[in-house]
């Protein structure tokens, strides 16, 4: 890689400036606002917000965090957010692995069809995906209709439930998971698999000792992106989720639009951001590991 400090920095300046100005700056001012700062960029919002906490002494205060964390419905939503994120991430990773493995070792019309189908949600606008699942899992939706036709009388209604939100999250994160894991599996040399087979390793052992170690990094990357996406999701839980005890996205919206308490809404945003950062640690570690490995290989 050539050292080009000036050209490099000039070239990346435009997107970096856009991000710094329209994402970085609002992010920082949002964090300051949650700590009670109502000056600068926060003066407009500070003048219209209700139930706002400002420091009595000093510059900053944690009162807004205390209030939010003392709230029963927030704590329930926080737990719901974490559980839905974990369950959906595990499910989508397992499902993605299944599709990717099948595609890698059984090349044929069926595996190509499955891979093709599994990336469809990537191209469907979020609000359409959410709405289609709302009708699909409704009392008169496709799941129950087909279920009844097949003699399954107690087919569940999942619209307006957290189970529905979990399945919806699996749906919308399936494409990226399949793409990343397929690409990782594609990178496992066939010669290595054949060699371990010749050495007498059974399918389970081949999977554990050869395939899995070589695909850990893409799996972690896929899982991190799913987790971050689900943590911050709004459209899906808003359309498909329950009115109360939903995940944090819709609660933020209510807190801001219905109760006019932007400070408390921002506290929730910062909490979600914190969770997303925790999830990203694994991602950065995985990338670091793969970068080091490819240097070793070179």
Partner 1 sequence: MSLVWKTTRTLAALLLLFFVVGPLLWLGVLAFAGDWRSPDLLPSTWTLQWWDTVFSDSRFLDSVVLSFTTAPLVTFISMAICLPAAYAFARFDFPGRQFFLIGIFATNAFPRFGLFIAMASLFYTLDLMNSFAGVIIVQLVGTIVFMTWIPAAAFAAIPRSVEEAARDAGAGALRVFFRITLPMAAPGIIVAVILSFLAAFDEAQGTFLVGNPDYVTMPTQMYQLIGHYPRQVSAVFSVLLSIPSVVLLLLVRKRVTGGAVAEGFQLR
Residues 135-154 that bind partner 1 (CB under 8 A): 135-136, 139-146, 148-149
User: Least Å distance between CB 20 and partner 1?
Assistant: 9
Contacts of 276 (CB under 8 A, 6+ apart): 227, 228, 231, 232
Q: How far is the CB of 199 from partner 1 (least distance, A)?
A: 25
Per-residue binding string, partner 1, 215-254, x by CB under 8 A, is --xx--x---x--x--xx-xx---x--------xx--xx-
Alpha carbon distance 94, 222 (integer Å): 11
Q: What is the DSSP letter of 41?
A: G
Contacts of residue 112, Cβ cutoff 8 Å, sequence gap at least 6 = 103
In sequence order, the 6+-apart residues with CB closer than 8 A to the CB of 162 are 80, 83, 84, 241, 242, 245, 246, 247
**Min CB(296)–partner 1 separation in Å:** 15
Binding of residue 116 to partner 1 (CB under 8 A): yes
Give min distance, CB of 272 to partner 1, in A. 5
Which among 5-13, 59-67, 189-197, 208-216 is the span making contact with partner 1, rule CB under 8 A?
5-13
Q: How many angstroms separate the first and last alpha carbons of the chain?
A: 14
281 binds partner 1 (CB under 8 A): no
- Which residues, 161 to 180, sit near partner 1 by CB under 8 A? 167, 171, 174, 176, 179-180
Please report, as residue ranges, which positions from 28 to 67 form the binding site for partner 1 (by CB under 8 A).
29-30, 33, 41-42, 44-45
Helical spans, DSSP H, in 119-261: 126-136, 142-149, 162-186, 190-198, 203-206, 212-231, 235-240, 248-253
């Amino acid at each position: 890689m050539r050292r080009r400090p000036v050209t490099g920095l000039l070239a990346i300046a435009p997107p970096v400036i856009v991000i710094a100005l329209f994402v970085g700056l609002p992010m920082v001012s949002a964090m300051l606002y949650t700590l009670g700062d109502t000056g600068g960029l926060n003066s407009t919002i500070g003048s219209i917000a209700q139930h706002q906490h400002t420091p009595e002494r000093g510059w900053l205060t944690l009162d807004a965090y205390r209030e939010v964390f003392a709230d029963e419905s927030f704590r329930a939503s926080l737990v719901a957010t974490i559980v839905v994120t974990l369950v959906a991430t595990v499910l989508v990773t397992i499902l993605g692995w299944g599709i990717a493995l099948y595609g890698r070792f059984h090349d044929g019309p069926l595996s190509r069809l499955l891979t093709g189908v599994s990336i469809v949600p990537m191209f469907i606008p979020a609000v359409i995906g959410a709405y289609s699942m709302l009708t699909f899992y409704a009392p008169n939706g496709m799941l129950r209709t087909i279920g009844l036709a097949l003699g399954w009388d107690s087919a569940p209604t999942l619209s307006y439930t957290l189970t529905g939100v979990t399945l919806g999250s699996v749906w919308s994160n399936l494409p990226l998971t399949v793409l990343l894991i397929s690409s990782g599996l594609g990178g496992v040399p066939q010669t290595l698999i054949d060699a371990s087979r010749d050495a007498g390793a059974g399918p389970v052992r081949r999977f554990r000792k050869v395939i899995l170690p070589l695909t850990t990094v893409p799996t972690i990357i896929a899982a991190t992106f799913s987790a971050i996406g689900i943590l911050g999701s709004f459209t899906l839980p808003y359309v498909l989720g329950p009115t109360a005890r939903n995940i944090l996205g819709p609660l933020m919206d209510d807190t801001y639009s219905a109760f006019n308490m932007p400070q408390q809404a921002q506290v929730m945003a910062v909490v979600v951001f914190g969770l997303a950062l925790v999830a990203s640690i694994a991602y950065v570690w995985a990338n670091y590991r793969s970068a080091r490995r490819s240097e070793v290989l070179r």
